[in-house]
Amino acid sequence: MRLRGPSYRPNRAKEYSGDAGALASGPADSVTTEVPALVIRDLSKTFYTAMKFGARRATSALEHIDLRVKRGEFVTVIGPSGSGKSTLLSIVAGLTEQSSGEVLVGGEPIRGPGPDRGVVFQEFALFPWLDVNDNIRFGMARRRLGRPAEMEVVQRLVKLVSLEGFERYFPNRLSGGMKQRVAIARALAYDPELLLMDEPFGALDAQTRSALQVQLMRIWQAYGKTVLFITHSVREAVYLSDRVVVMSAHPGRVYEEVRIGLRRPRAVMSEEFSLVERNLARVLARASGTDEATAYASD
């Protein structure tokens, strides 16, 4: 028998629709014959720190994570510091190796990084010696389309992320929001099956962050990509997501899955949105062992 601790919530999902606070309980995933975009099975990760006299200290970052993401679904992972959110995304990206369990993308086990996954980090990870066009085009080498076809894709993406007129600008001349738009376009350029985003708007001011959230929704709807998104922000999670996976910490476990039943586009100032936001904040507070106000403070 495996003991998973008091915070574990197996196969439990709730839907928050903002309809007078109604909650609809149901299974975490419906039965389908379609191959999911992402499957995580019984995933655990332990880090080891070297101590004196050859001893090692083990730190469990993730424990028995199970998650299925449908094709085209936008899933956000939220949780307190120490819940292993970024570690989970790094494992899915193939940048970190799990200690046990498996990760399948498109039904195939991952073996390191691959072109089926595009990654956008919180840091502005652009090449300073390349302009906007060439930064976007950099990730397309594996597609071997030829320069004319590559430039056609680049031009389409530049327009999609509203950077017309800045194609020949280098990163040091771009604002933080513009740099992240270039990073998103570069991740889309090689047509990955799965888009992984690790707090991509966390370093931006509130106004720029809100504008990029709206633009990300437009891009997601245009391309229909499957997205796994990491955030600390309850409001961001409600605005963007089809489903929110709430993590608990030390070690990181799935505490609860919450389906967001609000219609798009979502109005953050509406009563329905506020109700769903408060409900998610309460779930996060329980997972964190804190009060609701602390959960809101992360926004």
**pLDDT score at 34:** 84
Which stretches of 121-250 are DSSP H helices?
Answer: 132-138, 147-160, 176-189, 206-223, 234-240
109 and 51 together in one domain: yes
Domain boundary among 171, 191, 211: 191
Residue 32 has pLDDT above 80, yes or no: no
138 and 272 together in one domain: no
Domain boundary among 191, 212, 243: 191
150 and 284 together in one domain: no
Residue 210 has pLDDT above 60, yes or no: yes
Report how many domains make up the chain: 2
Residue 7 inside a domain? The answer is: no
Residue 154 inside a domain? The answer is: yes
202 and 174 together in one domain: no
| CB proximity list for 250: less than 8 A, separation 6 or greater | 60, 82, 83
Domain boundary among 163, 191, 219: 191
98 and 209 together in one domain: yes
Give per-residue pLDDT as tens, 139-195. Answer: 787 777 788 888 999 999 999 899 999 999 999 999 989 999 999 999 998 889 999
Residue with tokens 């083990």: 58
Residue 8 inside a domain? The answer is: no
pLDDT band of residue 10 (cuts 50, 70, 90) is very low
Pairing verdict, β 56-69 and 38-50: antiparallel
Residue 68 inside a domain? The answer is: yes
Structural domain that includes position 174: 126-191
Residue 4 inside a domain? The answer is: no
Give per-residue pLDDT as tens, 264-298. Answer: 999 999 999 999 999 999 999 999 887 665 666 55
230 and 173 together in one domain: no
91 and 234 together in one domain: yes
pTM (predicted TM-score): 0.86
**pLDDT score at 9:** 45
Angle between helices 206-223 and 147-160 (to 10 degrees): 130
